[in-house]
Amino acid sequence: MNMNLRKSSLSLLLCVTAVLGGVLSATSQTIKTRVASTRLEPTSLAQWSRDLGYNGSDLCPMILGLTGCPFVNVDLSGVKIALMLDTGTASGFVITTQAPSIPHRVGERHEELNADGSHRGESLGIRVDTISVLGRVFKDVAGTLSDWRMYSSVPFNGTVGLDFFLDRRLTLDYRSRTVGVSAIPLPEKLDPKRYLCIDLVDAPESHGHILYARAVVNKRKAIVYFDTGYSVSFIDPGFVEGIESIERPGRFKIFRNAVPVELGGQKLILDELRESPVKRGPGFDLPVALALGSDFLSKFVVTIDVRAKKLILALAEPKLE
């Protein structure tokens, strides 16, 4: 059988293994990244849906997994299933051996590679007749069938990525567990007191449609990676000089506080970033300093527009006690 090499940026390896594995070994590993400082004003569901031009029919329920990552309901050839809305899925969709039986056609076996080119495992290429994702039906769609153990320490059904949103934008509100989807362009002007507009940069071709932006991290120019499929966030050791550290037991021992980050012309201060190499492979003109997961993104209302190459963050309303 022919073996095709594929780059896979699927995020669950870190989303579940790192966090849930850490929960079992040390309570401290459940700590989430905090936004210690931002100038943005909190924005409600009613506010952002109005400002961003969504109507009631554009809003859908979003499910939060145990680790805090977002899931949405998907129909795969008549089988309804909740899949992770994972901006780190490089292409198409992924179904795991944990998912219920789904009608599909079998293709070739692939070698799965991590973003840095290292070997991850093998998957089976598949095609499904239809997949319905947040109001849009796609026909004859390619995906992969994988053993969930390749990515996770606990079973999960699979993921869908940004390939299904190339001609429409989406907004994730973790606080209200709502996702908005629309094909209309973004408004030309948004209130800078509420909305932080970030220009996305092109990823290396092998990475597919995933999210990178330029930033200044600890006074150094860098690339930042945004991934809803990570439940925790990381800073590369090359960017921690002079930053306060805290040592804890568990898989990730060093945490960094008061990390200064400039994004889209605004300054943020982040606490509780895990220190770990951020390996995204070659193809960037700057080093990748941060991998920001759903613990960071859940503090915001997150709008992604692949067409316009924009990521827009609005500070979410604080949770009710």
pLDDT at residue 4 tops 90: no
pLDDT at residue 116 tops 90: no
* Residue 89: DSSP 8-state: -
* Lowest-confidence pick of 34-43, 88-97, 171-180: 88-97
pLDDT at residue 130 tops 80: yes
**Does 121 or 212 have the greater pLDDT score?**
212
Mean pLDDT over residues 91-118, rounded? 82
Q: CA-CA distance, 8 to 89, in Å (whole number)?
A: 7
* Res. 82 pLDDT band, cuts 50 70 90: very high
For residue 233, the model assigns a pLDDT of 97
Average pLDDT taken over every residue of the chain? 88
**Does 151 or 309 have the greater pLDDT score?**
309
Mean pLDDT over residues 41-62, rounded? 97
Mean pLDDT over residues 301-320, rounded? 92
Q: What are the Cα distances from residue 263, in Å, to 145, 213, 217, 313, 315?
A: 36, 8, 9, 10, 14
pLDDT at residue 224 tops 60: yes
Token reading at 263? 């994004």
Helix (H) or strand (E) holding 46: helix 45-51
Using left for φ > 0, alpha for ψ between -120 and 50, and beta otherwise, residue 245 falls in beta
* Res. 87 pLDDT band, cuts 50 70 90: very high
* Residue 154: DSSP 8-state: S
Strands (E), 152-249: 158-160, 169-173, 178-182, 195-199, 211-217, 220-226, 234-235, 245-247
Residue-by-residue DSSP string for 292-311: E-HHHHTTEEEEEETTTTEE
Mean pLDDT over residues 134-157, rounded? 86
* Lowest-confidence pick of 68-72, 148-152, 190-194, 294-298: 148-152
Tell me the pTM.
0.89
pLDDT at residue 44 tops 80: yes
* Lowest-confidence pick of 178-187, 206-215, 302-311: 206-215
Mean pLDDT over residues 261-269, rounded? 96
pLDDT at residue 133 tops 60: yes
For residue 12, the model assigns a pLDDT of 46
Q: CA-CA distance, 173 to 62, in Å (whole number)?
A: 8
* Res. 296 pLDDT band, cuts 50 70 90: very high
**Does 28 or 192 have the greater pLDDT score?**
192
SS3 state of residue 132: strand
* Res. 76 pLDDT band, cuts 50 70 90: very high
For residue 16, the model assigns a pLDDT of 42
Domains of the chain (ranges; CATH) run 4-315 (2.40.70.10)
pLDDT at residue 26 tops 70: no
Q: CA-CA distance, 236 to 238, in Å (whole number)?
A: 5
* Lowest-confidence pick of 147-156, 176-185, 201-210: 147-156
Name the percent of the chain lying above pLDDT 90: 71
* Residue 200: DSSP 8-state: B
pLDDT at residue 290 tops 90: yes
Q: What is the CB-side half-sphere exposure of residue 190 using CA atoms within 13 A?
A: 26
> Which residue has 């001609």 as its token pair?
167
